């Protein structure tokens, strides 16, 4: 069965650079969530989209932005990267209120 | 917003024993409580979930109980096996609204000793 696809899997950036993470949800899923997970931490909710509209916002820094496109894929744009942004970034998708399935994540390292 | 507390943070059991992980939540509007298993460097994987209209749910060796009055839910794993070793996260969310994002507990590292 198709799963949530994230790209790239690994990304290394320098401080103050920008990064773009991509997420392709499971076909027919209408909701996308972005989570950030630091080492040894629980996933922290950043932002979500339902039917291409932002539906909820969590602890997303102002330096980050995201959007969902007409084909339902989503991109997380991160600017002015800081060392503390190094983390695993997960995208998850669901059909409305049904269970959320996570992608394999993008490991971002800021040096 | 919602706050989910989880304990213990680490749990070591012998193979074949049972393991219990407990969570409490703060928002009485929360109505959906999934449990995720995460192996090192991998994605969280849903293992069982429960909605607020149900008090208990079981799937083979895994069961979850929910006490809405106390705002407390627990994961029970029986006959533990070494492959059960992982970090387990509880979570809560409000289904039926725009606020469906999961709030996670801090995780429990379960180690099953052979």
Please give the pLDDT value at position B100: 78
pLDDT of A97 above 80: no
Own/partner pairs, A38-47, CB within 8 angstroms, 24+ separation? A38/A86, A38/A87, A38/A88, A39/A87, A41/B106, A41/B107, A42/B89, A42/B104, A42/B105, A42/B106, A42/B107, A43/A90, A43/B44, A43/B89, A43/B102, A43/B104, A44/B104, A45/B101, A45/B102, A45/B103, A46/A76, A47/A76
Q: For A50-54, A105-109, B54-58, B98-102, which range has the lowest pLDDT when averaged over its residues? A: B98-102
Percentage of chain A modeled with pLDDT above 90? 86
Work out the minimum CA distance from B105 to partner chain A, whole angstroms.
7
Q: What was the pLDDT predicted at B95? A: 82
Q: Which residues in chain B touch residue A90, judged by CB atoms under 8 angstroms apart?
A: 43-44
When pLDDT is averaged across residues A30-48 and rounded to a whole number, the result is 94
Task: Place B54 in a pLDDT band, splitting at 50, 70 and 90.
Answer: confident
Residues of chain A with C-beta less than 8 angstroms from the C-beta of B96? 97
The alpha carbon of residue B16 is apart from the nearest alpha carbon of chain A, in Å, by: 27
What's the confidence (pLDDT) of residue B106? 95
Residue A1 has pLDDT above 80, yes or no: no
pLDDT in tens, B62-77: 999 999 999 999 999 9
Contacts of A88 in chain B (CB under 8 A): 41
Please compute the mean of the pLDDT values over residues B39-51 and round it to a whole number: 94
The answer on pLDDT for A91 being more than 90 is yes
């Amino acid at each position: 069965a198709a799963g949530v696809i994230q790209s790239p899997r690994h990304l290394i950036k320098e401080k103050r650079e920008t990064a773009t993470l991509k997420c392709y949800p499971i076909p027919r899923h209408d909701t996308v969530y972005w989570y950030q997970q630091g080492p040894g931490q629980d996933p922290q909710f950043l932002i979500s989209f339902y039917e291409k509209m932002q539906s909820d916002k969590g602890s997303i820094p102002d330096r980050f932005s995201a959007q969902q496109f007409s084909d339902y894929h989503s991109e997380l744009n991160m600017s002015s990267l800081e060392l503390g942004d190094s983390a695993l970034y997960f995208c998850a998708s669901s059909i409305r209120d049904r269970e959320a399935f996570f992608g394999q994540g993008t490991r971002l390292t800021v040096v | 917003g919602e706050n989910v507390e989880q304990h213990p943070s680490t749990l070591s059991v012998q193979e074949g024993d049972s393991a219990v992980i407990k969570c409490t939540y703060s928002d009485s509007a929360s109505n959906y409580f999934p449990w995720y298993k995460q192996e090192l460097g991998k994605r969280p994987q849903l293992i069982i979930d429960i909605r607020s209209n149900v008090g208990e749910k079981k799937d083979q060796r895994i069961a979850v109980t929910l006490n809405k009055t106390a705002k407390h839910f627990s994961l029970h794993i029986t006959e533990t096996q070494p492959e059960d070793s992982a970090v387990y996260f509880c979570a809560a969310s409000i289904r039926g609204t725009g606020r469906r994002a999961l709030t996670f507990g801090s995780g429990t590292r379960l180690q099953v000793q052979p």
